[in-house]
Structures are given as structure tokens and as C-alpha cells.
Structure 1
């Protein structure tokens, strides 16, 4: 990026009202993140048992994330099924899809594409949120059903004003391969209320891999969210919010690109705290989320005359999801309790057309309706000053209706048209936590059980269901996960360390298998198998001298298909990060070495609705550098050089390249970006 470009972006921020950031004082009651948090984030550590909290506005290496899945790779144990530049699908400990409960502003935003081209986190711009909260494993029941792998919440919360004022922060980022981001977040308020606008845009061109070969991966996207809040006192808030966004993305690993990622979001939230008695808090929220997604083979590429889709073709899918949650919290001398109810309804439709934009005239056809209603309770009992017992339970009633009159490319009559499935799904956990050595150390052990309803992609996307069943809708059973989680944490003046490990059994694990289907191309079959999983993550930071810190993290996941006696597919290999950082509160410098082992435990042709194992993968190591300068508590300049040595490498979970872009017929994983540089300016007021 040229100095002229950087100067222009600084001017843009000034024009948005941030020109006074270098001299302004912080509003009362507000702590500026720049004063308290690290300059560049490369990995995260747990703040409590199994829980990670992150500030997504902080600069991050590699280049700051364009979507929620990419950002989550900051947390050890997370990877993503990659397909080019953006909109990867998040994976935690080898677990994928609705095994992860993904929430944005405590609302569900499931995508509409039958192949998860627009997975829920493709609609999330991380930097427009205030924090990200991750709970690993089935160790909470508070935030919805089915969270067997974990729960992820992208949270936006506005602090109340003690006196009238304005708070604002923004950023501008430029980098290699045309990367170009801008973000602004402005809040105006007084003791009785506030108004807030958070908006961003992001774009990038196709990148070059380490061999200098271009990889189709460009994207453009934008998001804008506005909210108004009423705060009659310090313990009460009522907030109304509305948001919209859109974008496009080119995919090296798919036969179609994403030509539209349109969303509309509306929500209302009310909270009341500190009642003065045993009742400590009441909270309720309701949401409306609509996703309108278009995929085609002509907007961002030319149709391939030698492919299965030689002519222009487009598909338009949409999904409307509405829901809500209400909960109450009580606090006694040694017991905290939260209980409540939640639920949601979702409708999915589709239409398509041959020829450019002919789908616009096609009628919509609904194919699925979902609904869930649940009740939950979670408590923490402080058995002593140094020990706690956390436990919870929930019960969900799920309902799914098959509205497909026909199914498959041949449009044959659907044998389950009009049928409805209903399931009652219990979940629960219990966890013991113990502090040691004057709270400098502690350990925990917990066991959780989750029964999960198959999601849209497992019931409606496969071509075939289990043997003997007419389709997946009729034959796929709910998953049943039972998992043990244990861990240890230690904190001292110079050393912080933690380790978490897990082992689980998954009954009726939902597995996809792919095979050639003649004129119909590749066919997918979904069935249930019994599976076993285990793994661990660990991390440590050592501060050998003032301003210096050495860090390391490690993540390992293992899975077995017990029914067939082989490996569970789509399991990430052993992954490690080593970091060295210097920070004197004015200047900061850092180095990151990321190493990934080869993966030889595979199940070729098996996986999930998005990806499948295509063969063994090679290990790799990538070295990156970052640095920054704080002009003041209000302005910070950060920069990074990713993949310094321009290594050519691919992630194990990457998709195979599409023949439309010249990739060979034999599957070849998409390479990751080669050497790339970025510069980011953050300003606050």
C-alpha cells in the first residue's frame, strides 16, 4: 500500500469525526481497550474453565479476518474448511456444522445454501462486534440446543453513558492482493439512552500462492448495524437494533460463486439487573434474521463448456429465522442459578434458472420448515472458597417438515413430502472446578451429554439416506454426544499456562460419503455411525524480562469411526504456534511460527456437506512478523508480513480446486496465500 493510499484512508477517518482522537479524554466510566490489551493478537488463552473471550477489534496476525470463521482460528482448537479467500466453514476439534452453536447478537443466522456456501459466520464481520465468547465442549446449556462441540457468541453491547457525549472508533486496513477494509463505530448518548452505528466494508482481489500462481479468491462485502437504547437507570436497558449487509465471493474450490450474501436483521433486547433481593437479573431478546443468497457460474467467472454446467445457471435460496429467549437469574450466598426458555422457527425456500438472471422470474418453492422450543437451567454451587460445582440441563422439542414435492436432479416425486418429524432432545452437564495455590492454579473436570437434531444440510442436502431409507429426512437419527472435559490453569508473575483435554463417544454420528453418480455427477449419502473422539489443546506464556513474552500453543484432535473401524474424516492435524513479542507500550514487535503436521489418518470420500477427505496432506511451517506503534492511547498503527518466506502450502481441510479454473480432475487442495503484507490504523475518540 502506498503512502498516498494510507494518507487517504487517514483522511477518511478524520472526515468521519475521528480527527480529535489523538487529544481527547476518555468519557467517564469507559476503559479504552488500547490501554489494556495486547497490540497484535495471534492466539488466545482461556479466561476461565473452557471459556475464551476476545476483543475482535484488536489487530490480528495473520491479516485481520474478513469473516467469523477466519477470526475463530485465533482460538486453539479451531480450524476452518477453506475454499479460497473468505467464508470458510468453522471447525472445532474436528466437529463441524450445527455441532457448533453459532450466535450473532444472541440470535441465530443460519445460511441458506444447500452446500453451506453461506455458512452462518459468512454473515459476520468480527470487528463490528465488541467481544467474542467461546465455550468449548458440551459445558453450557444457556444458549440453545445441539451445542455438542461448543458455543460461539459474537456479542455487541453498548456501555451506558454517565453524561452526554460521543464515543467513536474506526480503522482502515490495506494490504497485498488488493486487501482494502474500512470500519467505523459511533455511539452518541446520555444517561437516559444512546444511538449507535457500526459499519464496515471489506474487499480483496485473487491472491497468489507461494508458487506465484493466482488462486480465484476475490471478495467484496459490507455490513451496517444501527441500534437505539433506553437506559432509565444504570441497571436497565431496552435496545432496538436493525442491520443489513451484502457481498460477493469467488471460490476456487466450488463450481459456482457467491453472487449475493444479502442479510436483514432486526432484534429487541431488554435487561434488568440488581433487584436487591435473591433475584439478580431478568433478560429477554427476540430476533428476525433473513438471508438471501445467490450462487451462479457467470457473475465472477465464465461458464466452463466442458463442465457439468456448460451454460449460465443460477440458484437463489433464502432462509427466514425468527426466535427469542427469556431468562432469570438468582443469587444466594453459595448458589447462582439461571433458568429460562428459548425457541426459534425457520423457513427455507429456493428457486433457480438457466440463463443469466432468469431465476428472478422463477417462483419460490419452500422445501423445509424447522422449529424448536427449549427450557434450560444452569447453576453454580460454591462448595467452598476454592471449589465450585457447575451443572445444568435442558430439554428441547424439535419439529421439521419436509415440503419438497420432488427431489433430486430428475425431479422424481418425494416419498416424504408433507411428512413431519418430531424429537424430544435432552442435554446436560456437570463440572467440578478447584482452585489451588492461592488461586494461582486450578483444575476442572466435567462431563456433558447432548442430543442434537439433524440440521437442514444433513436432512435435505444428501442425494441418498441410509440403506433401506427413502432419503436422509426419513432415515437420519439425532446425534448423541457424551464427552469428558478436563483441564488445568496456572498464572504467576512470569508464567501463564493452561491445558485442556477431552474424550467423547458420539452415537449416531452423521457421516457423509461421496461417490461418482454417472450422469448426475457426484452423489452423496448420509448415514449414522458410532464414533469416538479425543484430543487436547495447551498454551503457555513466559515473560523472561520486562516488555518481552514468549508463547506457545498446541492443538490435537483424533477421531475414529467405530462402526467401520477406520478414521473419522475431516480431522485437522496436530497444529502448533510459537510466538515472540516485545511491547513497551509505545512500540511492539512480534514473530509467529506456525507449524502443522502431516495428516495420514483419513477416510477418502467421506466427510460432511461442505468437505471430504481427498487424501493425505503434507505438513508445513509458516513464519510471519508483525509490529506496531502507539501514537497515543487513541491511535495505533499496526503492520504485518505473513508467510515471510513465501511458502507454498495448503491446509488439510481445504477444498479441492475446481476444474473451471484449470485445476486437474484428480483432486488437488487449494494453496494458501504466499507472502503478503498489511498495514492497519486504529483510531478512537
Structure 2
């Protein structure tokens, strides 16, 4: 525990937050001892989740995780999409700095994860993924997050062998003219400031929605009070104009968005001086077409990212150092059309999607094309409700992929089939769900795997030699939903042919070779929650991933270690208090100087445990105040998935970047 002297040296915000949490817990415990729960409360044995900050397990199926993005999670607040995803069991993150980390699920990275925001894909530009897709996503500006684990859906695009992630906004519904919305503000340690606005004006015929966010933070300090270069700032603004029918069966929506940001990276030789996304989208939905056709939907979108990375805007150039700056951009245009049919015991979803994206670099004030990708896909999913308890779901898609390299006008193309079959069963007279699914996915190499490495002159070109990755995976799981107990388990076993592996220079953070190996992966996640009574609830989760390079008989790189989370919540009236204990094991199964487009294994890692706590008070139905402390005991630690600190900031070679020390925050949410 921190000593009184250390505690007195913390910021006023931290002292006030500590005091608020201690006073709140004391008051709530006293109230609980003074008024025992009634019989009705004991029978319910459930907490009011609207008041509670989520800390561990998903709230729905173990295969498909659905989470409200308006409900805060700890550690909070999320600076971007990756920061939010790492709070879900099975996810980890390759740390960039204070923001823009790269998400990893079950040890799988990059385009093995399909990430869509309102059905559209935004692709980053940096060859070493300084700006991954999630860096352009502000979670709180969306409503719902959906995670589909493994190759168990074909509706949302090619690849996605590890999973599919959907950030979605739900259209506002008005039964009469009016306004509704959500406003939040947050302040925290390291001068963290965050403001979010989502307001909709409308009636039964349509709506106008405005969404905005501005957030920033200074460099944070680790548990040893050492400053880590990590400051960042970003803003985004989106507008949507929707037209609806009186019965809400039809929607036509036009959207536009713009943003910008910058981030300093302790683990890189340059920083993100500009992270500028623009977007346009148009979607159409029509429900209840006939007795058979339930829904048709279509979307077309345009996303553009303009990114500048340099070593002068956000850091001081070392003595004798040379200025370095690169301006890159990417334009993405895509569309999707789907129809849903229902008849008797069957549900059929079918459609087609298309995407093209062009990557460019600016030289001498002129843009020069580097690469252009094309994808055309056909897909369908069929669900058979064989009995009230049993369902069989199958899906298949076929994609044609092609890419053009402008440097020498070379092209390559391939056809990629994917599919799955899954059986789900609700046990009769028991709150138990069982499922088992077998999936296959072929993934065409992405931009980072074909273009973004510095190969030795004698090494074969990745553009020519790297093969498509082929994953065959078995997913099985179960879920129990009792009166007081909720438990789930989700596991997988996969065989990956032609796994795309990066090999790095031992002295530098650049790849020198990319090739294919065969690999085996397995692991899973599990969780349990138990409500002792109407006030107390405990929950925990466990996530484990394992991977082996079968060709070289050694571990796959960039596999996160075993991780457990334990949460304890007390709720009384409008108050809730939650403590989170995150425990991470060491990782000795490493492949030194091997990795992916963003990072490599450079050493084994030690385990650690971090304690966090929060308190929330709902003033009324519209106003909620919450406060918390992440890393309450000021633990000094680093994650296994890490970028070695950069020498320009004084880091020795292969030194891991430490995580933030004790961090306090206070947040106000207003819903109307």
C-alpha cells in the first residue's frame, strides 16, 4: 500500500477521488447493515446493472458478445476502440503509448480481426501500424459493440479468422417531435480531459443527429514516477440525417464525419503528428416487406485517412539527428447489400459486398500511388430452428481479391472461400446453452504483409511469395444463466496453414523477412458471476491463448499470457462500488525477434497484479456521477505485448514500455 507521505504527494484530484470512494463504501456498508434485504430482494439476487461499472465478463452469449458502449468499463476511460476492446476477456493490446494501441484477440492481430464502424471499414496508413483502424474509433460515440468470436460469421467481409467486431449506432426513434441525447465529461490524472456529445432532434418522419468528441491527455507516469512519452489529443464530429416512415419500417440515412488528432509514441522513432479521418455514408433499410422477406438493407461508404508521422512536431530532435517526415493517405470505398428471409423454421441472409482502397505517399508535394486493393464477395447464412431448443447455423462466402503494386505495375489475385457450421442447443428445463462450431477462413494478405517491410536485397519479395492464410477452427462453449449465478466458457482449437510470420532485425525495429509457416492455436475464455444477495455480487473471468509454429517447432510470437480478472460489487439504492483485481501471469513462451506488422517478441515477461476501484452514484434517471482509481497501489509493470522503448527518448535497447501508475478520474453522464 502507498505510504501516507506518498498519498499526500498525489494530485488534489486523486486525493478527492480516494476520499469519495472510501466515504461512499463506508456509507453503503453502514446502510446495508442497518436494513437487511427483503425476501423479494433475496429472491431476485440481482444488481441494477444501470448503476454498475462493468469490470470483467461479457453479458450475453459466450460466442457473440454484445456490450453497451454507453456503460463505462474499468479501467476507463477508453481513448479509442482498442482501449475499450482490451477490457473484454481474450483481448490484449500492443501498446503504442497513451493512445492508438493495436488490438489483439486470442493472440491474433491485424486483418485477422474484421473491425467495422457502422458497417464501414476505416484502414490505417502507417506501414508499421502507427494508426490501426481502432485509433479512428471513439467508443462512446457509438451505442453497441458486437464481437463474434472465430470464423463463425460470413456476413461482414473476408478474412476475420480470429473474429468480427462491430461498432454500431442505433437510429433514434421518436413517437413525437422532440430531442434526446447523451452528454458526458471527464477529467483525470495526467491532465486527461474528455467531452462527448450525442444529440438527436426529430419526429416520426426523421431525425438529425449530431455526435462529437474531444479528448486529450499529457504524458503519464509509471509506478516508479518516471514519465513515459505518451501525450495525445483527438477530436471527431459526425452528423446524420435520417428519413423514416411513420411505422418505422423504412430508414434512409446520410452520414458524414471528420476528425483529427496527434499522438506521441515512446516506442517509435516518429510520432503521429496528424491522424485525420473523413467519412461519408448512405444506408437504406426496409423491414416487413412480405410474409417471407423480412428485411433488405444496403450501404455505401467512403472513408479517407490522411496521416503525417515525423520526429519534430511532438518531440525534440536529438543532437546530430536528422529530420524525418512522411505523409501517407488511404481512400476506401465500399458497399454492401443484404436481404433476410423468414419462412417456417428457416432464416436466410444473403448478399454481396465490394471494397476498393488505395494507399498513397506524398513526395515533393505530389501524391504517388503505392497500392490498390480490390475485393468482391458473395455470402449467405442459413439458420434452421429444428426444435424450440435446437438451432443449426451454416454460412458460406466466396471472395475475389486482387492487388496492384504501382512501383513495378505488378498484380496478384486469388479466390478465397470461407464457411462455417454451428449447432446451438438450449437444454430443456435448464438455463443452459451449448454450442459447437467448425469454421474455415482464407485470408488474402493485407497491405502490411505485402508492402510494409524492409527486406534484404536477397530476400524474396513478400508481394510475390507470401501465400493466403488458411484457418480451420473448432469453437465450442457453454453458458449457464441461473437466478444467482451466471457462468460461461468459450474455447477453440485451430490449425492455420500458411500463417504469415514476420522476422525482425535483432538490432532494429524493422522486419527483414515475411514468410508462411503452419501453426496450431488453442485456448479460450471463461467467466462466472454470483449474486450473494440484492447488494453484493462477485464476478471473475479467465483468458488463455497458446500458439505453436509447427514448421520450426517453437512458440508463435506475440501470444499474450494467462490473464484473470476478479470483480466485487456492492450496490445500495443509487450507489454502487466496485473493485477490480487484474492478475496476469508471466510469459516465457516467446519467439525472439519474430512477430507481426506492429511488434515482435524481444524478451520473456514477468507477471503482475493490478488493483482498481470505482464508485458511481445515479442522481436521478438522467444524471450519473462516477469516479475511480486505476492501479490503486501504484504498481510498476509492463504488458507482454509491447513496443521496445525508442532510443530517442532515452530507452535502452529492448526495454519494455511501462504502463500508467496510479490514475484517478471523475466522470459526469447526462441523458435526456
TM normalised by structure 1 equals 0.90
Alignment partners' CA distance in 1, 2:420 and 2:435: 13
1:102-501 matched pairs, under 5 angstroms:
102-233=115-246, 234-305=248-319, 310-351=321-362, 361-404=364-407, 417-438=408-429, 440-464=431-455, 470-501=460-491
Alignment partners' CA distance in 1, 2:232 and 2:458: 43
- 2:206–2:242: 8 Å Cα contact kept in structure 1? yes
Which of 664, 667, 672 is residue 677 of structure 1 equivalent to? 664
Alignment gaps of 5+ in structure 2: 1-10, 17-46
Alignment partners' CA distance in 2, 1:470 and 1:631: 64
Indicate the residue corresponding to 1:625 in structure 2: 613
- 1:59–1:638: 8 Å Cα contact kept in structure 2? no
* CA-CA distance at 1:145 after TM superposition: 0.4
SS in 2 for 1:474: helix
Alignment partners' CA distance in 2, 1:574 and 1:73: 14
CA distance 1:48–1:169, shift in 2 (3 Å): same
Indicate the residue corresponding to 1:552 in structure 2: 540
- 1:346–1:369: 8 Å Cα contact kept in structure 2? yes
* CA-CA distance at 1:84 after TM superposition: 1.4
Range 328-337 or range 44-53, more displaced: 44-53
Alignment partners' CA distance in 2, 1:276 and 1:368: 44
Which of 65, 76, 99 is residue 112 of structure 2 equivalent to? 99
Task: Give every structure 1 segment of 4 or more consecutive aligned residues whose post-TM-superposition deviation is greater than 4 Å.
Answer: 520-523
Pair 1:590-2:578 in alignment: yes
Q: What are the superposed Cα offsets for residues 254-304 of structure 1, whole Å, 9 maximum, x if unpaired?
A: 000000000110000100011231000000000000000000000000122
Alignment partners' CA distance in 1, 2:271 and 2:459: 33
CA distance 1:388–1:46, shift in 2 (3 Å): farther
- 2:96–2:130: 8 Å Cα contact kept in structure 1? no
SS in 1 for 2:195: strand
- 2:454–2:510: 8 Å Cα contact kept in structure 1? no
- 2:390–2:424: 8 Å Cα contact kept in structure 1? yes
Alignment partners' CA distance in 2, 1:545 and 1:166: 38
- 2:484–2:532: 8 Å Cα contact kept in structure 1? yes
Alignment partners' CA distance in 2, 1:617 and 1:403: 41
Pair 1:643-2:646 in alignment: no
Alignment partners' CA distance in 1, 2:52 and 2:506: 50
* CA-CA distance at 1:442 after TM superposition: 1.3
CA distance 1:585–1:135, shift in 2 (3 Å): farther
Alignment partners' CA distance in 2, 1:362 and 1:44: 50
Indicate the residue corresponding to 2:90 in structure 1: 77
Indicate the residue corresponding to 1:525 in structure 2: 513
* CA-CA distance at 1:600 after TM superposition: 0.3
- 1:327–1:339: 8 Å Cα contact kept in structure 2? yes
Alignment gaps of 5+ in structure 1: 7-33, 353-360, 405-416
CA distance 1:585–1:366, shift in 2 (3 Å): farther
SS in 2 for 1:323: strand
Pair 1:539-2:530 in alignment: no
Alignment partners' CA distance in 2, 1:367 and 1:673: 38
Q: What are the superposed Cα offsets for residues 646-685 of structure 1, whole Å, 9 maximum, x if unpaired?
A: 0100000011111111101x21100000011000000011
* CA-CA distance at 1:395 after TM superposition: 0.2
CA distance 1:78–1:398, shift in 2 (3 Å): same
Indicate the residue corresponding to 1:566 in structure 2: 554
SS in 2 for 1:668: coil
Alignment partners' CA distance in 2, 1:122 and 1:584: 37
Range 271-280 or range 204-213, more displaced: 271-280
- 2:389–2:428: 8 Å Cα contact kept in structure 1? no
Pair 1:47-2:60 in alignment: yes
SS in 2 for 1:163: coil
* CA-CA distance at 1:583 after TM superposition: 1.8
Equivalent residue pairs, number: 629
CA distance 1:521–1:184, shift in 2 (3 Å): closer
Indicate the residue corresponding to 1:508 in structure 2: 498
SS in 1 for 2:505: strand
Q: What are the superposed Cα offsets for residues 579-629 of structure 1, whole Å, 9 maximum, x if unpaired?
A: 000123400000000000000000000000110001100000000110011
1:17-28 matched pairs, under 5 angstroms:
none
- 2:57–2:539: 8 Å Cα contact kept in structure 1? no
Indicate the residue corresponding to 1:28 in structure 2: none
Which of 596, 606, 616 is residue 604 of structure 2 equivalent to? 616
SS in 1 for 2:619: strand
SS in 2 for 1:384: coil
Alignment partners' CA distance in 2, 1:252 and 1:507: 35
SS in 2 for 1:364: strand
- 2:56–2:567: 8 Å Cα contact kept in structure 1? no
Alignment partners' CA distance in 2, 1:439 and 1:201: 47
- 1:44–1:52: 8 Å Cα contact kept in structure 2? no
- 1:386–1:439: 8 Å Cα contact kept in structure 2? no
- 1:463–1:471: 8 Å Cα contact kept in structure 2? no
SS in 2 for 1:102: strand
- 2:113–2:161: 8 Å Cα contact kept in structure 1? yes
Indicate the residue corresponding to 1:31 in structure 2: none
Alignment partners' CA distance in 1, 2:349 and 2:430: 25
* CA-CA distance at 1:131 after TM superposition: 0.7
Which of 647, 654, 657 is residue 667 of structure 1 equivalent to? 654
- 1:516–1:523: 8 Å Cα contact kept in structure 2? no
* CA-CA distance at 1:35 after TM superposition: 7.8
Indicate the residue corresponding to 1:412 in structure 2: none
* CA-CA distance at 1:469 after TM superposition: 6.4
